[in-house]
Homo-oligomer: A and B are copies of this chain.
Amino acid sequence: MTDYAPPLKEMQFVLDHVAGLGAIASLPGYGEATPDLAAAILEEGGKFAAQVLAPLNATGDAAGVQLENGVLTTPEGFPAAYRAFVEAGWPALQFDPDHGGQGLPWLLSTAAMELWNSANLSFALCPMLTQGAAEMLALYGTEEQKRVYLPRMVSGAWTGTMNLTEPQAGTDLGEIRARAEPAGDGRFRIKGQKIFITFGEHDMAENIVHMVLARLPDGPKGVRGISLFLVPKYLPDGEGRPGERNDLRCLSAEDKLGIHAAPTCIMAFGEGEGAIGWLVGEENQGLAHMFAMMNNERLAVGLQGVAIMERAYQQAVGFARERIQGRDEATGEPGAPIIRHADVRRMLLTMRAKAEAGRALAYAAAAMLDTARRHPDEAVQREEAALVEFLTPIVKAWPTDAAVETASIGIQVHGGMGFIEETGAAQHYRDARILPIYEGTNGIQARDLVGRKVLRDGGETARSFLARLRKGEESLAPFQDPAVAAIRARLVDGIDALSEATEWLLHAGKDDPRRSMAAAAPYLSLAGTVAGAWLLGRGAAAAHQSLDSDAADRPFLEAKITTARFFAEHLLPPAIALRDTIARGSDPVLALAEDAF
């Protein structure tokens, strides 16, 4: 099994030259995000990830979690690692200093989150969910709720969960049945069952704060009658310490394909008199509150895809360097490591290029989010906010689909050894498979992209995204370098294809919305690949500009350019052809009689 080596140089490059950390650091309130601080976070975070979290990844997978009499035990080493994680202050990076946070840009916390997720996807889910719950509380909680809960959640001392799904209510949350009855004292009694609750119960922190969607007795039917409640495992006592146990428990932990070290719980609320909860935000606005936070969670899941790609890539490269088999294809010498075989190089480059494209997308989206929040010019805020909304389903879905594919290629590089669990490649293939599913399936992301982001405003945002792509392509024009020129040429083809596909959607969507929905997934795939090529092209141009001035980094910079060229010339063409899949191949999707399936 290959150790995890945090790709610090690559991460720093993407922060600086693709996402534009310099511009982010110049935004009001982000002045502390200096290059030095960024380097220190990557360096120290990388050590923590590699030395503390990564060694627990395979052991945690093998051990899984144990549930006995409602007590859930995480794998050996997890509670101690989590304590160390909290003590080091890692959960607090992007939170408001008023609540104990460090007030750093999302862009930097995104880079840190990549480290945790590459090192140990199961472990990283716990802080990821906690941060989501904390953000929601920061946005919608009362002053009293914020006072009691926020500092403890921001520090990570208490963890958080999201309780949305019920057996009959997955994608369609309007079907939620959990109920909340006023207790008369301003509190509520929550009753109901929730499923798929990640870290719903565990032994890593002294309290767990559940954010629960439930219905008030007089709430309207459907999605407009759902409210959000804060339901802690232990009710805080007068001094804010965990006190009385609340009426909720984990009924069972699912036996899953992957992320074995992350408990996925069936939670029962209110088997007795009802779990005590507090309303968060406005009555019947629970879904709206949840979705305000969910966009960030979707970006975080996309980043998990990047993280798994990186880890699977490192595992595959490590094996390909060590495994001796066959002859060197260039020299004919026997006893060559398989990395010398052209087809193995092709597989490794595919993994690498997709990981780099995914990282560029995730970091760029984080930078847009920071700009949308802090830019002094409100017009820029609006523009960036619209763009990051457009990109959110793409950043969630494209890198997570790519992660499944990449983890699969990672096994293939290992040959027979990849199928043996001990090697470690198989875990990534199993773990990655959840990513296109949770926080809204990738089908839902595609529907969101086409329905809400392209069609709803008549293509306005999509066209402004295309204009930004064109600007990116034009900025490559001055480069004489044949690799950059080749990237630009393919990128132009890609933008043309995306533009035509967008116009087709706008046309087809008017005739019959189902036609555009049939095309949604290929459209997202096309958009994601073109966006990846755009940002890799930006990186290649920056690398080219540094080539002469930075002799020490020459091999790294040349690799950036070659990888971007591989992406554009090798991986982009089939995505470009999705234009034809969309235009011609959407009607057959609807043509088969339902009984004939």
Contacts and interface: CB of A to CB of B under 8 A. Distances in A.
Interface of A: 165, 168, 170-172, 175, 195-196, 254-258, 317, 320-321, 324-326, 329-330, 339-349, 352, 404, 408, 411-412, 415-416, 418-422, 426, 429-430, 433-434, 436-438, 441-443, 446-447, 486, 490, 513-515, 517-518, 520-522, 555-556, 558-559, 562-563, 565-566, 569-571, 573-581, 584-597
A285 B76 CA distance: 53
A520 B342 CA distance: 9
Q: Which of A258, A421, A438, A570 has the most CB of B within 10 A?
A: A570
Nearest to A518: B342
Given A517-B341, A588-B569, A596 B555 contact: yes
A517 B559 CA distance: 21
Contacts of A555: 593, 595-596
A317 B348 CA distance: 34
A18 B118 CA distance: 48
5 contacts: A256-B419, A349-B589, A412-B441, A558-B596, A566-B592
Given A171-B415, A175-B325, A345-B597, 5 more contacts: A343-B517, A412-B437, A558-B596, A566-B585, A573-B580
Given A346-B521, A412-B436, A416-B437, A585 B597 contact: no
A569 B347 CA distance: 27
A346 B589 contact: yes
A117 to B, nearest CB: 17
Contacts of A563: 592
A513 B446 CA distance: 41
Nearest to A421: B255
Given A415-B171, A562-B592, A256 B421 contact: yes
Copies of this protein chain in the complex: 2
Contacts of A490: 584
Contacts of A255: 420-422
Nearest to A316: B597
Contacts of A513: 329
A114 B578 CA distance: 32
A264 B456 CA distance: 55
Nearest to A559: B596
Given A585-B569, A597-B339, A437 B422 contact: no
A305 B212 CA distance: 43
Contact of A416 (B170, B418, B588): B170
Contacts of A412: 436-437, 441-443
B416 A438 contact: yes
Nearest to A577: B577
A408 B576 CA distance: 23
Q: Which of A324, A348, A443, A581 has the most CB of B within 10 A?
A: A443
A419 B437 contact: yes
B592 A345 contact: yes
Contact of A566 (B558, B578, B588): B588
B429 A411 contact: no
Given A443-B412, A566-B588, A596-B556, A521 B343 contact: yes
Nearest to A440: B415
Nearest to A564: B588
A342 B444 CA distance: 11
Nearest to A556: B596
Contacts of A585: 566, 569-571, 573
A589 B339 CA distance: 12
A299 to B, nearest CB: 20
